């Protein structure tokens, strides 16, 4: 099952075998207030060239293949039919002899610590090795211990001699609607191999093993993301960044001072009001789950690919969870109707090699619904509360209707793109980012 790694033949394989590609993005997306059109052209050319590469692993998998691009005779839907469960391989795939499989119980403090430290020290870095994602233990539990999750899908690899955890991959169950079909899928994420073991070719075996375990639960499709081009994205999204603490972002190299801009002018440019402006804007509470579920389901119904949330999903994914996810809504002062909703999750990065700063606190736009409050106004209030909570930057993809507020609220395009993929499910032609209603962590 596909994930965020680039096994054999991927665009970056020559530099780093088994390069880790995360469920959100392959390299930490950075802002750049001075990106030139030449850089954009170079990046576009590099992306187009990667289409011509061979992907030995992915070309053996039931995923959209480059040779099929533009073939409108191919049916949408599953690429391969389900196998009878009795024919699914019952034994785990073989690892190199020095390693063994382990199932990671994320509700165990000791195991959660191990997974956290593996990711903290070995997970996704930006291309210049200045930042590395630092998912908190609370975030990992939130992301992995979902309603009806399968513990067997949280897969680790240990060194037999030391019992040290050296690799990890995970899946969680999800219901994803593709047009009118609601499909049970696995959301694959957090594929990470210890830096010293990137030459051991563990990643393809791990992908095959999580695929096997997902198949044992009679689930045959999956969703995943990567920052590199693999066969074949259903859409490609752009990261945008809104400075909340511009001096720190410039000091640590996340962004640059714009041409003819001073630091004081930049700080003034990104200054936000002290308090939110929308009447009835407040933090989401447990009693709001039914209303938010209705609002969200109605909103997501317009997109080609989107999650099919029920109340238990909304309760898990969107109820505020300190240092994990923040959600706010607008309640009509007179009607008490819930009319609008916004949310963002917390994903800090370790700042590598900087003597003054150690952590970059980033908010990532999650699900936002506007029916009465204009979306730019709603999201400006989200920026204000994120600033109040000491976030340094607010990141957003150009999915759903996000494009309508990005430039107005002084977001700038970053250097990170995110490619969305479906495993064993064909969509006949690529989607626009605005046709996608899915945000993967």
Q: What is the mean pLDDT of residues 177-197?
A: 97
Whether the predicted pLDDT of 311 surpasses 90: yes
pLDDT band (50, 70, 90) for residue 52: low
**From 119, 165, 244, 441, the catalytic residue:** 441
Express each pLDDT in 346-395 by its tens digit: 999 999 999 999 999 999 999 999 999 999 999 999 999 999 999 999 99
Express each pLDDT in 1-39 by its tens digit: 544 433 322 222 222 222 222 333 434 677 654 433 333
Catalytic residue at 378?
Answer: no
Express each pLDDT in 116-169 by its tens digit: 999 999 998 888 889 999 999 999 999 999 999 999 999 999 999 999 999 999
pTM of the entire predicted model:
0.89
Express each pLDDT in 278-291 by its tens digit: 999 999 999 999 99
Express each pLDDT in 415-434 by its tens digit: 889 999 999 999 988 999 99
Mind spelling out the 3-state secondary structure of the chain? CCCCECCCCCCCCCCCCCCECCCCCCCCCCECCCCCHHHHHHHHHHHHHHHCCCCCCHHHCCCCCHHHCCCCCCCCECCCCCCCHHHCCCCCCCCCCCEEEEECCCCCHHHHHHHHHHHHHHCCECCCCCEEECCCHHHHHHHHCCCCCCHHHEEEEEECCCCCEEEEEEEEEEEEEECCEEEEEEEEEEEEECHHHCCCCHHHHHHHHHHHHHHHCCCCEEEEEECCCCCCCCEEEEEEEEECCHHHHHHCCCCCCCCCCCHHHHHHHCCCCCCCCCCCEEECCHHHHHHHHHHHHHHHCCCCEEECCCHHHHHHHHCCECCCEEEEEEECCCCCCEEEEEEEEECCEEECCCCCCCEECEEEECCCEECCCCHHHHHHHHHHHHHHCCCCEEEEECCCCCHHHHCCCCCEEEEEEEEEEEECCECCCCCCHHHECCCCC
The domains found in the chain, sorted by start residue, are 37-235 (3.40.630.170), 238-417 (3.40.630.170)
pLDDT band (50, 70, 90) for residue 53: low
What pLDDT, on a 0 to 100 scale, did the predictor assign at position 299?
98
């Amino acid at each position: 099952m596909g994930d965020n790694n680039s096994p054999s033949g991927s665009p970056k394989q020559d530099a780093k075998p088994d390069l880790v590609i995360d469920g959100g993005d392959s390299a930490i997306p950075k802002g750049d207030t001075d990106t030139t059109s030449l850089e954009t052209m170079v990046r576009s050319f590099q992306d187009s060239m990667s289409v011509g590469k061979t992907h030995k692993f992915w070309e053996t998998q039931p995923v959209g293949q480059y040779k099929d691009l533009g073939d409108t005779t191919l049916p949408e839907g599953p690429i391969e039919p389900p196998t009878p469960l009795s024919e699914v391989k019952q034994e785990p795939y073989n690892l190199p002899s020095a390693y063994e499989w382990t199932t990671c119980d994320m509700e165990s403090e000791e195991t959660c610590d191990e997974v956290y430290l593996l990711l903290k020290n070995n997970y996704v870095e930006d291309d210049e090795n200045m930042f590395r994602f630092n998912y908190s233990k609370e975030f990992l539990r939130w992301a992995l211990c979902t309603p009806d999750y399968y513990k067997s899908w949280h897969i680790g690899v240990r060194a037999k001699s030391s019992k040290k955890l050296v690799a990890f991959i995970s899946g969680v169950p999800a219901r994803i609607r593709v047009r009118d079909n609601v499909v049970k899928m696995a959301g694959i994420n957090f594929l990470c191999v210890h830096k010293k073991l990137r030459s051991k070719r563990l990643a393809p075996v791990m992908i095959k093993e999580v695929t096997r375990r997902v198949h044992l639960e009679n689930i045959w499709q999956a969703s995943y993301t990567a920052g590199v081009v693999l066969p074949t994205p259903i859409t490609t999204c752009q990261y945008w960044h809104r400075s909340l603490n511009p001096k720190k972002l410039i000091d640590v190299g996340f962004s640059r001072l714009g041409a003819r801009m001073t630091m004081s002018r930049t700080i003034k440019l990104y200054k936000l009001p002290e308090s939110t402006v929308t009447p009835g804007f407040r933090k989401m509470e447990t009693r709001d789950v039914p209303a938010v579920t209705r609002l969200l389901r109605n909103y997501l119904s317009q997109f080609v690919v989107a999650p099919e949330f029920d109340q238990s999903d909304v309760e898990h994914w969107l109820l505020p969870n300190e240092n994990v996810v923040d959600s706010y809504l607008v309640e009509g002062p007179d009607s008490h109707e819930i009319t609008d909703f916004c949310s963002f999750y917390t994903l800090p990065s370790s700042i590598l090699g900087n003597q003054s700063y150690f952590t970059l606190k980033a908010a990532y736009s999650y699900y936002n619904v506007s029916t009465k409050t204009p979306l730019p106004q709603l999201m400006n209030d989200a920026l204000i509360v994120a600033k109040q909570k000491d976030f340094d930057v607010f990141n957003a993809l150009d999915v759903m209707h996000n494009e309508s507020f990005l430039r107005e609220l002084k977001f700038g395009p970053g250097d990170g793109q995110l490619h969305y993929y479906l495993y064993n499910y064909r969509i006949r032609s690529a989607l626009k980012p605005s046709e996608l209603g899915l945000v993967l962590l």
